Amino acid sequence: MSTETSGRGEASTRERFVGAFNSRASKLGITALPGLTWLFLLLLAPLTFMIAVSFVSVDTLTYQIIWEPTLENYQGLFSGTGPFWETAFFQSLMLSYGIAAVTTVLCLVLAFPLAYLLARRSGRTFKIVIFLVLLPFFTMYLVRAYSWYLMFGPSGVLNRTLLKLGIVDGPIAAFNFGVPAIIVGLTHAYFPYMLLSLYASLDGLDFSLVEAARDLGASRVGALKDVILPLALPGIISGSLFVFVPSLGAFITPRFLGQGKVLMIGQLIEERITSLYAIGFGSAASMFIVLSIVVAFALAFRYVSIEELGGV
């Protein structure tokens, strides 16, 4: 709409529009309400419904929901031929926690030196390094998982290359599909989240504090422990969350880098849902992911605010 041609009609629309912003209620209504409606319809309602479905049973033939509260779905997760820790669900849950935890630690250890270096340097080199880090980050997740899929496996690039170079006689087990491959894939996928979170908190850090600590006689390790780490804590925590949470619910990476040898919880749920439309099982199992996330965030919020979490 060009204002130069503002005739009588447009001026009045304009006045009405401006007038709409005069009262507090309408200001809020116009700004907050559309988003709220959307979130309510497409986030809150589906999630609430999912919680409800996890407590009711579903007719296996018609997929009609029988609205009677039951714990059947949850019992189903943990009942099998043996004790509960031998059920597929429990094993896959623990395996997922383990993989997500190792991935998080690995990302933290790998990202910290680079984030520190980036925070201390600037200029052309810095720009190139940032570009080289961001490019894989913006590259489709699926493409990155696939690129590791090419590397691993008995006849993957890693094994074939080692064989060709005569370093090994047969395929190395560590380069086969399985848990190590998944951890590498997830680390590659979520490493940038950690790096950027760390960089965000280290970048705002006043490094003269470190110099001051060193002048006052702190050792290098002492300065790292007492000055840098506490100040970088929000970045460490938010970075860890943004690695841990998606790793826990990962689907593509374990699917391709596990090749059926590893069943993470995301895959287990997907399998039951797509092959059986077992929405009761899927909902109940999803609650464990949701609950884990709630706990992780509740712990994190003791140290950081939601704005600080918004890093990535």
Partner 1 sequence: MATETDTETGTEVESGSASVFDYERREQLLKYGLYVVAGALLVFLWIPLAVMMFLSFAVNASTIFPFKGFTSAHYAATFADGALLTAVWHSVQIATLAAAVATVLGVLASFALARYDFPLKETYRTFGILPMVIPGVVLGIALLIYFRTLLPQLFGIVIVPGFWTVVLTHSVYGFPFVVLMVTARLYTFDESLEEAARDLGADPLTTFRDVTLPIVAPAIGAGFLFAWIRSFEDFIRVYFVKGTLNVLTTSMFSMIKYGTAPKMNAISSLIVFAIAVVLAVAMNVGNVTGMVAGTEGEGE
The reply on whether position 203 binds partner 1 by CB under 8 A is yes
Total number of residues shown for the chain: 312
Looking at the Cβ atoms of 10 and 86, the one nearer to partner 1 is 10
The reply on whether position 28 binds partner 1 by CB under 8 A is yes
State in angstroms the smallest separation of the CB of 85 from partner 1.
23
Looking at the Cβ atoms of 43 and 173, the one nearer to partner 1 is 43
The reply on whether position 282 binds partner 1 by CB under 8 A is yes
Query: What number of chain residues touch partner 1 (CB under 8 A)?
Result: 106
- Of the residues 26, 79, 161, 276, which one makes contact with partner 1 according to CB under 8 A: 161
The reply on whether position 249 binds partner 1 by CB under 8 A is yes
- Of the residues 73, 103, 104, 283, which one makes contact with partner 1 according to CB under 8 A: 283
CB pairs under 8 A, 24+ apart, for 120-123? 120/207
Per CB under 8 A, the segment of 31-39, 74-82, 87-95, 172-180 that binds partner 1 is: 31-39
- Of the residues 116, 175, 177, 190, which one makes contact with partner 1 according to CB under 8 A: 116
Per CB under 8 A, the segment of 71-79, 80-88, 174-182, 220-228 that binds partner 1 is: 220-228
Residue with tokens 């290098």: 220
- Of the residues 34, 83, 98, 230, which one makes contact with partner 1 according to CB under 8 A: 34
According to DSSP, the residues that pair with 65 across neighbouring strands are 58
C-alpha–C-alpha distance, residues 90 and 79, integer Å: 10
The reply on whether position 174 binds partner 1 by CB under 8 A is no
CB 114 within 8 A of CB 123: no
C-alpha–C-alpha distance, residues 167 and 209, integer Å: 49
- Of the residues 6, 10, 36, 83, which one makes contact with partner 1 according to CB under 8 A: 36
The reply on whether position 260 binds partner 1 by CB under 8 A is no
C-alpha–C-alpha distance, residues 277 and 95, integer Å: 24
- Of the residues 83, 98, 222, 230, which one makes contact with partner 1 according to CB under 8 A: 222
The reply on whether position 47 binds partner 1 by CB under 8 A is yes
C-alpha–C-alpha distance, residues 155 and 185, integer Å: 17
Residue type, 252: I
Looking at the Cβ atoms of 85 and 143, the one nearer to partner 1 is 143
Contact mark string toward partner 1, 229..248, x via CB under 8 A: ----------------xx-x
Per CB under 8 A, the segment of 69-77, 85-93, 170-178, 250-258 that binds partner 1 is: 250-258
Looking at the Cβ atoms of 82 and 165, the one nearer to partner 1 is 165
